[in-house]
Amino acid sequence: MKKMLTMLAWLLGVWAAQASAGVVTFDDLPGDYTQAIADGYQGFNWTNMNTIRADALPGSGYQAGTVSQTNTAFNRDGGTVAISKAGPGTFDFVGAFFTSAWLDQEIALEGYADGQLLYSTAESFVLDTVNPLWVQLGWGGIDTLVIYSSSGTQWAMDNMTVPEPPPLALLGAAALAMTVARRRRT
């Protein structure tokens, strides 16, 4: 039995380590730039965030910044954005693509957990209106991501990458444990 439990723990660890990164593309939203992203979308609360279709403003940074199919997210009114975990727990922010909507600007990011600053970008990232910039941070264990703009104008964000939680690993471990228990009874 001890061997089986050790094997179960090992498999659970392997499954959890293989949890793939989830990518928030915003393409399943309508892309109506007048509508805020609803709290709870993809497991997050979105403060000061809307989406826009890539073809809504041809030649803009919104169009250039849409690296997925149809939509990109943007900071409404050019203000500061907060993306926080909907419900308890934390998340890991791997990175995202950013462009400026109208003119070159800089952004800075901070990661918080329980109101305490855990991470801050050492330098700002310079965005232009043509080339999406991949900003990779790899911040773990945060519950809020804050993004600041230097110019007070809009920027676009697409393919926000956050690791998916490991419930499938837990489900797999539970299924394995049930199988072991059944075999033990017979």
Averaged pLDDT for residues 96-104:
97
Q: How far apart are CA 143 and CA 132, in angstroms?
A: 25
Over 80: is that where the pLDDT of 175 sits? no
Cβ-based neighbours of 141, under 8 Å, separated by 6 or more: 90, 92, 113, 118
Over 80: is that where the pLDDT of 10 sits? no
* DSSP three-state, residue 25: coil
- pTM summary value: 0.80
Residue 186's pLDDT is what?
A: 57
Range with lowest mean pLDDT among 31-35, 54-58, 125-129, 160-164: 160-164
Residue 174's pLDDT is what?
A: 53
Q: How far apart are CA 100 and CA 104, in angstroms?
A: 6
Beta strand segments in the chain, E: 21-24, 44-47, 49-53, 71-75, 81-85, 91-100, 105-113, 116-120, 125-127, 133-142, 144-149, 155-163
| Residue range 23-162, CATH number | 2.60.120.1350
